[in-house]
Amino acid sequence: MTIFLRPCRSVLYMPGSNARAMEKAKSLDVDVIIFDLEDAVSPEKKIEARALVVDAVASAHRGDYGDRGICVRVNSLDTPWGEDDLQAVGLAAPDSVLLPKVNSAADVNRAVSKLTKAGMSEKTAVWVMMETPLAILHAEEIAANSRVEALIMGTADLVTDLHARHTVDRLPVITSLSLCVLAARAYQRLVFDGVFLDLEDKIGFEKACRQGLELGFDGKTLIHPQQLATANTIFAPTKEDISFSHKVIASYAEAQSAGKGVVLVDGKLIENLHVQEAKRIVALAELIASRTDNSTEA
């Protein structure tokens, strides 16, 4: 069962060079913020953005971002900025560091080694972009790395590398999506669906979120605050989910006390595996409720 440190329904990319947007993020109903030093920042602003992001992480340590998760996506080590990004971010100690353009476990180890030398805390997790054909083929070994906490689909880059097309049903990347979910679940990692690029297509975005939920993703990466409400709603357990889960847990406990290994709940055969899923749903719902209460108090 995935261990949730916080709700991860919505994971919003925030340009590291946009101080105004980063300030606004303090009031957004978002579970995790990714301060982006890579794709969202032009080459001439990379150094300036790094300083802004380090300041934002320090602000998060002071509590200015509340209970929102703070992640920083660095530039690849194969770029002129990657080494300095890892040095600065390792010292800043966000909740997680997101590594782009990873192709193998060796790439993860290389980056982690540099982060460790920079003084990165053991509490800082490593997240990995799954955005290349090699990354998908090596999904299991990447997920098996003990420092990796989450896999994030980079479907935009992946579609390009595959010479495929963006389609409504996402059939060109279904295999890749499922392989990463399998790898994540095999090693109890979080896994997040890729971004939806058409901000005008609200129906398409909702369908993509529901498909991601059905495939097993924990949440969705986003490119704009207007996508938050939909992702937060779809990736949260429904009232019916929560009610049924409580019923499953209680009924199974009662059956066990009577010496039974299975029980019927609303006509459905319930075994231990269903109880574990019910407990996951209840735990996630409680975390979401707690986060909502904290936001309201603030």
**Domain ranges (residues) in the chain:** 10-234, 239-297
What pLDDT, on a 0 to 100 scale, did the predictor assign at position 231?
Answer: 98
Q: Lowest mean pLDDT: which of 166-180, 225-239, 265-279, 281-295? A: 281-295
155/208 Cα distance (integer angstroms): 12
pLDDT at 282 over 90: yes
253/283 Cα distance (integer angstroms): 17
Amino acid at 17: S
The torsion angles phi and psi of 126, rounded to 5 degrees, stand at -110, 125
Rg (CA), the chain: 20
130/124 Cα distance (integer angstroms): 19
Q: What percent of the chain has pLDDT above 70?
A: 96
Mean pLDDT (the chain, rounded): 94
What pLDDT, on a 0 to 100 scale, did the predictor assign at position 296?
Answer: 46
The torsion angles phi and psi of 15, rounded to 5 degrees, stand at -55, 125
pLDDT digit string, tens, across residues 108-158:
999 999 999 999 988 899 999 999 999 999 999 999 999 999 999 999 999
Tokens encoding 295:
């936001």
Tokens encoding 148:
């990796």
Positive or negative torsion for Cα 77, 69, 62, 38: positive
Task: Decide if 222 contacts 12 (C-beta within 8 A).
Answer: yes
219-236 burial by CB neighbour count: b if 16+ within 10 A, else e? bbbbbebebbebbbebbb
pLDDT at 1 over 50: no
pLDDT at 77 over 90: yes
pLDDT at 203 over 80: yes
Task: Kindly report the CATH number that applies to the domain delimited by 10-234.
Answer: 3.20.20.60
More confident residue, 294 or 260: 260
Q: pTM score, two decimals?
A: 0.92
What pLDDT, on a 0 to 100 scale, did the predictor assign at position 51?
Answer: 98
Task: Decide if 124 contacts 94 (C-beta within 8 A).
Answer: yes
What pLDDT, on a 0 to 100 scale, did the predictor assign at position 111?
Answer: 97
